[in-house]
Amino acid sequence: MWGFALPLILALLLAGATCPAWGFDQPESLNRFQEDVKRTRLGSVLKVDQGKVDQLLHIDQKYKPLKEQARREAVAAFKQLQQVMRHPSPPEDQVRGILATMMRKKQESLDLQQRQLEEEMAILTPVQQARYLMFLMGLRREMVKEARSLGPPRSGGLGTKPVGGAGTWQSGPPPGAPAEAMRPAAPTLAPPR
């Protein structure tokens, strides 16, 4: 069952996890927020004792440095990509290599999240698993609200509003994007018959 359900559940959890975009500059405060919420609410939500909560928190602590390392490496690759893309004609081989690194780091992060979730699920009953997944989805929403209350990242980037206001750019493509990015894409599928 987990072969099909786990990727779907992970996708749902990750779809709501926009806080990493906000949290590049404030990961520690969001980590504390998440840990505090888990420590104080998890037992009553899952209807488990503090020992089980501690087990879940221990699993989380075990994966935290690995996920943080993958995040730091992805951020470094993204910064490198930004540097390269500042050139009028960025070298395609270098861009391709950086993009490949970013994709590997994204996959590494997803793999770590999946392994962590599998370990957490292994110590819970099916009903507790369902409650835990619902709890995590709600926690992601709370973290987004918390991240927004901290303000946009200091370095700009994801999570900040464009200069022209909500959803519009002052003029031309977004910073770092080629001009052709603003042209509508040609349809790739034939219309249904």
- Domain definitions of the chain by residue range: 2-18+26-150
pTM, rounded to two decimals: 0.63
pLDDT on residue 147: 78
Q: Give 141 or 25, the one with higher predicted confidence.
A: 141
What does the CA dihedral 116, 117, 119, 123 come to, rounded to 10 degrees? 140
Residue 154: exposed, middle, or buried by beta-carbon count in 10 A (0-12, 13-18, 19+)?
exposed
Residue labelled with tokens 């919420």: 37
CA–CA separation, 143 vs 141, rounded Å? 5
User: Where is average pLDDT lowest: 38-42, 55-59, 92-96, 147-151?
Assistant: 147-151
CA–CA separation, 12 vs 40, rounded Å? 24
pLDDT exceeds 90 at position 190 = no
CA nearest neighbour of 13 among 135, 127, 96: 135
If phi > 0 it is left, if psi is from -120 to 50 it is alpha, else beta; for residue 39 that is alpha
pLDDT exceeds 80 at position 84 = yes
Amino acid found at 90: P
pLDDT exceeds 80 at position 164 = no
